[in-house]
Amino acid sequence: MKKWASLLLALCILTGVSASAAHAEPDLTAYSVANGFVTASTFEDVTAPFSGTIASFDLEPGDAVQQDDVLFTMLTTPVYAPEDGTVRYLFAESGESADAAMSTYGAVAALQPRHRQRLSCTYSGAADYDDCRHLHIGELLYFKVDKEKGTGVVIATRDGAYDVEVLTGEYDAGKLLDLFKDNDYAYDNKVGSGKVVFREDLTIAGSGMIAEMLVSPGDYVKKGDTLFTLMGQDAPFGALPDIKAPAEGVVASVPVASGQQVWKGQLLARIYRTDALEIVAEVDEMDLGDLKVGDTLPVTLDTDESRILTGTVTEISSLGTQRQNAAYFTIHVTVQQPGMMLGQSASVYLP
């Protein structure tokens, strides 16, 4: 091999051609030039997975995104615990249909209330005073059985009767308790008597797809805690409120705004893929010659015109555009050059 290399070098010297000239860039002065720009050969459309409202976002055209970046989040509807209690059972999980759970079980979740006992009361035996025979919702009452004392609050009143929620104390179902307005349990404070009844577990309803189930059986929750969140009824099985980028690329357009109501399938953004770039140029009809798909052409980027790249023609438009008494045809040229940026100016050289 060394002998062949020496012979090649000797031939170059004998013919007056230097080794550097043998590898010189081609002379492009005899070429016609078509102006073009770098663009993406493919794009990805991001659409709404279900109907609903878009949360606030800061995505805008020109932003670079990576695959699986969260672009948008759909607002969800929270369902809260109506009172303190313990989660007993869940009839559905994240990504499942709340409507299906309601149809089958009549609930999405079951909650055992913290205060499970109530008293169904009458004014029987009450002291003959107006304030002992006409109670108001929210009044605190006292009662005791033998030495065991308890308290309760009036939660409902009706003609001749009222209901009390037991706050402290634990009693057998059906037990009859005397109630008083004061903890001295004196007769002149007596407001009647009530029978102990047990409450059933609370059933929690919902409609739509469950975006996220935030509790598990056995969890203790406070009134107002979020149990789960809901998405639109047209959300597909397994849908999530976060909408992610399908590929690496650059945001081309964002035709929606924060807080906007959207429908399933509505276009939210278009992403130009940066893993498939090409140069698009307009060629004068007089310069087309015998150009065909598959031909290779010299290409330069305006940011570095001294570096000549090689591109491959992938498409030639069959429809020209008339401009200044001439027809121009669009050609697409792929170039394998890392670091190219969308929108860069470029030149394509045509022999």
Spatial contact of 33 and 347, defined as CB atoms under 8 Å apart: yes
Let me know whether 206 and 190 are in one domain: no
C-alpha distances (whole Å) from 28 to each of 68, 141, 294, 302, 347 are: 44, 100, 20, 15, 11
C-alpha distances (whole Å) from 161 to each of 124, 192, 233, 279 are: 9, 9, 43, 85
pLDDT digits 0-9 by tens, 19-65: 334 445 567 778 899 999 999 999 999 999 999 999 999 999 999 99
CA dihedral sign of residues 62, 63, 69, 75? negative
Let me know whether 30 and 91 are in one domain: no
Let me know whether 336 and 283 are in one domain: yes
Spatial contact of 348 and 328, defined as CB atoms under 8 Å apart: no
Let me know whether 47 and 37 are in one domain: no
Across 1-10, 40-49, 165-174, 246-255, least confident range: 1-10
| String of DSSP letters for 263-311 | -TT-EEEEEEETTSEEEEEEEEHHHHTT--TT-EEEEEETTEEEEEEEE
Q: Check whether 142 has a pLDDT greater than 60.
A: yes
Structural domain tally of the chain?
A: 4
What token pair was written down for 163? 């209901």
Let me know whether 221 and 282 are in one domain: no
What is d(CA 37, CA 345) in angstroms, rounded to the nearest whole number? 4
Per-residue b or e along 116-154, where b marks 16 or more CB atoms closer than 10 Å to that residue's CB: ebbbebebeebbeeeebeebeeeeebbbbeeeeebbbeb
Counting Cβ atoms within 10 Å, is residue 312 exposed (0-12), middle (13-18) or buried (19+)? middle
Q: Which residue has the higher pLDDT, 185 or 26?
A: 185
Spatial contact of 184 and 144, defined as CB atoms under 8 Å apart: no
Closest C-alpha among 182, 222, 290 to residue 82? 222
Strand ordering across the sheet containing 220-221:
202-204, 109-113, 85-90, 220-221
Q: Is residue 126 part of a domain?
A: yes
Instruction: Find the mean pLDDT for residues 305-310.
Output: 90
Q: For residue 308, what is the domain's CATH number?
A: 2.40.30.170
Instruction: Find the mean pLDDT for residues 233-238.
Output: 87
Q: Which domain holds residue 251?
A: 43-75+241-273
Q: Check whether 281 has a pLDDT greater than 50.
A: yes
* Alpha helices (runs of H) in the chain, residue ranges in sequence order: 2-14, 19-22, 98-105, 130-133, 285-288
Residue 97 CA neighbour count, 13 Å, CB half:
13
Q: Check whether 14 has a pLDDT greater than 80.
A: no
Q: Check whether 18 has a pLDDT greater than 60.
A: no
Q: Is residue 21 part of a domain?
A: no
Let me know whether 217 and 101 are in one domain: yes
Neighbours of 346 (CB within 10 A): 26
Report pLDDT for 25: 58
Q: Check whether 278 has a pLDDT greater than 50.
A: yes
| String of DSSP letters for 126-149 | --SSHHHHS--TT-EEEEEETTEE
Let me know whether 206 and 246 are in one domain: no
Sequence-separated (6 or more) residues with CB below 8 Å from residue 240: 49, 95, 211
What token pair was written down for 275? 């893993």
pLDDT digits 0-9 by tens, 329-346: 999 999 988 888 999 999
Let me know whether 215 and 83 are in one domain: yes
Neighbours of 84 (CB within 10 A): 15
